Amino acid sequence: MNLTENTSSTDKPIQWRSGLQPLMPAKAGNKPDGYDIYPFHNVGEGKILSGYNSLVRWMTGHKFVALDGYAGVFWDDVQGYLQHEFDLLGVTVTWIKMSDYLKPVEQVQQMVAPYLSSPGSVWGTKASLILSDFYDLPGAFNKSKDTDITVIIGTMAAQAAYGAGIVYFDLPKNELQLRMRTGAVNNLGANAATSPAEMYKRFYFVDWVVFNQYKKQLLNDIDIVADAQWNDTVNWMYGNDLKTALHHLSNNVFRVRPWFEPGAWGGHWMKERIAGLNQDEVNYAWSFELIVPENGLVFESDGNLLEVSFDLLMFAERYAVLGDFAEKFGDEFPIRFDFLDTWRGGNLSIQCHPSVPYIQQNFGEHITQDETYYILDCEADAGVYLGFQDDIDPATFRKELEDSQQYNREVNITNYVQLHKANKHDLFLIPNGTVHSAGAGNLVLEISATPYIFTFKMYDWLRLDLNGQPRAINIEHAFNNLNFERKGDRVQAELLSKPSVTEQGNNWQLVHLPTHADHFYDVHRLEFDTSIDVETNGSCHVLMLVEGTSVIVKTKGNEAITFQYAETFVIPAAAKTYTLTNAGLGRAKVIKAFLKPINN
């Protein structure tokens, strides 16, 4: 077996991940002067170990071991590397594979079908299944008397191995998707890859739901957490050390690892300004700055890096992170930051997002995709499409959209939708049901509620995606949600935030950028020459330096971290107070998104 390749059933090597972005390195490198695409949090010396040989040394102290983990782990490769190390030590092993106990493919397909709608549909409904529903287990497995060690390997291993030492292999969701797009991994209980779109839908609405529930259930029993994103090595740490690290973050400050994706409308702002991005990529449309269902947290010790999913922080420390809002949002971190890059790119589709009842009834989400667009940077002629013209006729608009889709006919969209000039630091308000699009020439900081895939496209400028295929148009869903009262002068009055200075001192001022009444979060801009003290007031704060070069953040826990321009970072509610210090020339401006008081 070639352990550096994932292999198909015919043992023919296949490409094991797609895209042009390199893997996060297993070892920390030098920090860049500006934006860092691999941010990490130091956990002290001796906390993260590297290599399968060190993991085997731990395993040999346990006669019975369960190797459990997330979707997308290359279990055959893990077993091969471990067996090699066992052989070097002369240790005999009995292997039990959890994949042998998955239910038949046809039975799994019938079980998940109600949550996936029809093939070709973009969305499904969040599953009410649990991970054990996918398995036929004969009961608990016991250690073998014929070998030195018994290892149960694969997802659900910990549930089938009472009394075993538990190693959990986590995998970042961006890497899972890169593996998925090549067909190197399948959905849970499937025996073949389908289209990337269908596989992603199944992951989002079924697989991730059951894997996340199971991970939460298992968290306190894990002896070791291992990072499975590299195909030839592993970094790992003890579960208790991980929980200590998560607790520390939940009371101080943290930044998740961002990741970047090209798109049909993508631009070149990030490509030209963020070091470490692959310059051979056609463009970059998105940066997942803080889309927490898909981001990870990276820890560092002795130069070794280890990434775990963000939801582990929420499972362990949601009350510290969310403060007064922990009961309302549970394990779901509610605020999202991401970049939409149309700088020398194209317009986003003309779109809207679902109402709260609609997203709950149709897709199983708890909150909806209420958004804002903060203009971090823009070209001279950039604009934002937002709200309807005063004379909008819904039937005429729909007919033209449907004709465009059927006959590939251009629509003069400004006959129906307003186009507003974009300027740096403008905030455009996009509560659910609002027609909108970011025009070409922008670097948009999208500040939003966390749901992120429920975009109902009505018109996409007749373009194809990066694979040469038409992009999905969802006119029916859109017209079930569009608010046609957001038109004419009401757009200026209600959807363009009007900043005002609410507090100020000798070298600072607090600017309020009011959000819409439908938004459960609000936005401030902290502007200061030297430093400013801030209280969390029972809410987490999500922040970004939007003007200046760098700021130093210091919490009551004596954590002092420097963040660069355009980097997103989070202050948990439990930090209570923190100080921002301007580390550059000129006035620093920091955007702060936070949760509105519950009685609002």
Q: What is the pLDDT of residue 559?
A: 75
Nearest to 343 by CA among 385, 377, 384: 377
Residue with tokens 């106990």: 101
CB-CB contact of 516 with 494 (8 Å): yes
| pLDDT at 533 (0 to 100) | 97
Domains of the chain and any CATH numbers: 41-251 (3.40.50), 333-494 (2.60.120.10), 500-595 (2.60.120.10)
Short-list 221, 90, 99, CA closest to 155? 99
Name residue 105's amino acid: V
Judged by DSSP in three states, 221 sits in: helix
Q: Is the pTM of this model over 0.85?
A: yes
Distance of alpha carbon 565 from the chain centroid: 21
Taking residue 446's Cβ as centre, other Cβ atoms within 10 Å add up to 20
**Could you count the other beta carbons within 10 Å of the beta carbon of residue 537?**
14
> Alpha-carbon distance 374 to 371, whole Å?
10
Element of type H or E holding 400: helix 394-407
CA angle 351, 354, 356 (to 5 degrees): 155
Q: Is 570 helix (H, G, I), strand (E, B) or coil?
A: strand
Residue 555 is predicted with a pLDDT of 95
Contacts of 99-103 with C-beta under 8 Å, sequence gap 24+, read 99/75, 99/154, 101/135, 101/136, 101/137, 101/138, 101/156, 101/160, 102/134, 102/135, 102/136, 102/188, 102/189, 103/134, 103/135, 103/136, 103/189
Residue 108: count of CB within 10 angstroms of its CB: 20
What is the residue type of 484? Answer: F
3 state DSSP class of 271 = helix
For CA atoms 288, 289, 295, 300, the dihedral sign is positive
Given this model, what pLDDT does residue 1 score?
A: 24
Which of 546, 536, 565, 548 lies closest to 253 in space, CA to CA? 536
Query: How would you class 364 by CB atoms within 10 Å of its CB: exposed for 0-12, middle for 13-18, buried for 19 or more?
Result: middle
Amino acid at 12: K
User: How far apart are alpha carbons 166 and 423 in whole angstroms?
Assistant: 53
Closest CA to 125 of 116, 135, 134: 116
**Of 450, 576, 575, nearest to 520 (Cα)?**
450
Give 534's Cβ-side CA count (13 Å radius): 34
Please say whether the beta carbons of 146 and 94 come within 8 A: yes
Q: Which amino acid is at 261?
A: E
The conformation of residue 132, written as its DSSP 8-state character, comes to G
DSSP string, 74-114: -HHHHHHHHHHHHHHHT--EEEEEGGGGBPPHHHHHHHHGG
Q: Which amino acid is at 391?
A: D
Distance CA 377, CA 106 (A): 51
DSSP letter at 115? Answer: G
CA 359 → CA 173, 333, 364, 365, 515, distances in Å? 23, 17, 6, 6, 21
Helix, strand, or coil (residue 531): strand
Beta bridge partners, 351, equal 436, 457
DSSP per position, 157-193: GGGG-TT-EEEEEE--HHHHHHHHHHTSS--TT-SS-
What pLDDT, on the 0 to 100 scale, is given for residue 171?
A: 98
**In the prediction, which pLDDT does 138 show?**
86
Whether the CB-CB separation of 321 and 595 falls below 8 Å is answered with no
Query: How many residues can be counted in the chain?
Result: 600
Query: What end-to-end distance do the CA atoms of the chain give, in Å?
Result: 61
The pLDDT assigned to 12 comes to 32
Continuous segment of H or E residues that includes residue 449: strand 442-449
Place of tokens 């549909």: 121
- Integer angstrom CA distances of residue 430 from 50, 235, 437, 526: 46, 42, 10, 22
Please report, in tens digits, the pLDDT of each residue of the chain (600 residues total): 222 223 333 343 468 999 898 899 999 999 999 999 999 999 999 999 999 999 999 999 999 999 999 999 999 999 999 999 999 999 999 999 999 999 999 999 999 999 998 888 889 999 999 999 999 998 889 889 999 999 999 999 999 998 999 999 999 999 999 999 999 999 999 999 899 999 999 999 999 999 999 999 999 999 999 999 999 999 999 999 999 999 999 999 999 999 999 999 999 999 999 999 999 999 999 999 999 999 999 999 999 999 999 999 999 999 999 999 999 999 999 999 999 999 999 999 999 999 999 999 999 999 999 999 999 999 999 999 999 999 999 999 999 999 999 999 999 999 999 999 999 999 999 999 999 999 999 999 999 999 999 999 999 999 999 999 999 999 999 999 999 999 999 999 999 999 999 999 999 999 999 999 999 999 999 999 999 999 999 999 999 999 999 999 999 877 789 999 999 999 999 999 999 999 999 999 999 999 999 875
